A and B are shown apart, each in its own frame.
Chain A
C-alpha cells in the first residue's frame, strides 16, 4: 500500500470522503492486530481490550462524539465510510456500549458533573459499559419493563431483573431503564439510571446461546442502592430519551455486508459440493444474488439521504427486514446443499469459509435483535403506511 499520511484526529472530519476512506484503510493496516481479524464470535473484553486501547491511544475511539468531548466529530456519512472499512477489514466489535449508547446519552442529557466524570473514563477504557433494557417480560414490548427504582433519601433502591445484557460479565458499569412511577402510563414512568456494577446486590449470570457462546447475561438487582445523582436527564422521561438516541445507526442493521459475506461463502460451498454449475442451483443463486444487489441499491438510497444531511424516517426498518431475511435465506440454502456436512459442529474440513452450521445459527438472532422483524413490520404498517390501530 502506498504510504498515506494519517492526519491528527481533529482533522479527519475535514477530509474528502474518498481520501477519508483511504486514511481509514491505512490506519487499520498500521494499527489493527492481525490475529483479531474476522473473529468467528463476538470477543470478550480480555480479547478486544488491546484494540480498544489502541483506538483510545490514537484518539479514534469515539467517531460520533463531538470533538469537544474527545470524539472525532464525524458526520453520519463519514461514520458510514468508517464502518464499511472496519467491516471490510474484519475488525472485531469492542465492548462499545459506552461509546455508542452511554456517551451520546450523557452528552445530550447529562449534567456537567456527569459529563466530566463519565466521558473521560470511557475514553480511557476505565469504564466498560453494558446496557440494561430488556427484561424477561419486556422484550419486544420494552415499555412493559418492571425493574423498579424507589427514592429513599439520597439513593434510588433498585429491584428487578434484566436480560440479554450483552457482555455484562465484562462490564463495570451498566445503564438501566427503570420504572420510577408505577401509576403513570407505561411509557411515562421510566427513567435512566447509571449503576456501578460493584454495588452490593447485583448478580450477573451468563446465558449460553445457540452458538454455544456466553455473549448475553441475566443481571439481577436486589436492593441495589444507587446515588440519586446517577439519574440522567429528567425523571420519568427515560423512554423519550431512549427513543431520541435511536439515530442514523439504525441503518447499520440493514448493511448488506452480512449477506454479502454469506453469499460468497455459499458460492465457495456450492463449488466444493459440485453443484455450482447446475442450472437449478444457478437460478437459486441468481435470486439470492439479485436480492442482494437490490438491497445494496436500497441501502445506497439511505446513505445518500444521510449525505444530504437528512434524517432517517421509520421506513429505514425496511432495510433491516430485507437484509436479515436475505441472510437467513442464504444460510438456509447453504444448509440444504451441504448434505450431512450441515450437521457438523465445527467448520467443514477445518475451513472457516465452510462454517455451514455456524453461519446458519448466527443468522437466527438477526431477525430477533434490534427490534424483531415482526415489530419492524408493525412499524412499517403503522408509521409508514399509516394503517389504523
Chain B
C-alpha cells in the first residue's frame, strides 16, 4: 500500500491541482467564448461599457457578415415598402437596406477548396513517400528526411518573393491551383513525417505474408498497409487541413481577389460606420468552430501532430 501512495497523488493534491487547472482553463477559453458571444450581439451591445455578459441575442452580425448594406433616409426607406424577408426586416431597423451579398461566402468557399484540395494532394504524396521511407532502402534516406523537415524552418515571407515572381510568370498567382500546390508543399513535411511514424508502427509481418501469398509489392501496400494506416492517415489529413485553413502569410501576399481565403478577409470586414465587431465575430465563429470540433476529435493524436511525430506519448 505504501508504494501505491508514492506515485498516486493525495486527495488534497488532486483538489488543489484540479482547481488551479480549471481556473486556468476558464480564463483561457474566455476570449473564445467572447468571440462567439460577440457574434450574437448588436453593434451597440458589443461596444458597451462595462462589457455586457447578458444581452438579447440577435443574428444581425451573421446577416452583416454575408451582406453589404447601404444607409437610406427615412423617405427612401418608406418608398421601398415593407421588407419582404426576415433579414431585410432586421437591417431595416437600423435604417439600412441590403445592397448585395458580401464576399465572405466566396472567401469561405476558397478556404474550403484550397484546404481540401491541398490536403488530398498532401496525403497522397505523403503516404507513398512515407511508405517508401518506412519500408525501402532509399539512398540518402536520413538526408532526404531532414531536407523535407528543414523546408518548415524557412520563414514564409523569405520564400514568398521568388514564389511571387514564379507564380506570376507561370500564371498561377491568385489561382486556386497555385495556392493548392503551395499549401501542399508547405504541409508535405508534416504529412511525410507523421505518416512515416504511423506506418513504422504497422508490423512488417503483414506485408511479408501478403507477398508470400503472391501479392505484388504495390498490392501489399494498397490492400494491406493502407487499411491498417487509416486512422493515422485520417488524423494527418485533419492536421494538414487545419494548417492550410489557418494559413495567412502566403494567402495575404499571393492572393488578392480571385483565390483569397478567409483569414486575410475576416479582419477586413467593416460595417457602414467603422469596424463592425459583431460581423467580424460572426465570421470568425463560422471560421473557427469547425477547427475546435476537429481539435476535440483529434485530441488523442494532437501531441504527435504538433511535434511532427517527434513525441508519441
Is chain B found bound to chain A in the same assembly?
Answer: no
The residues of B with any CB-CB pair to A shorter than 8 Å are none
Chain A residues packing against B (C-beta within 8 Å):
none
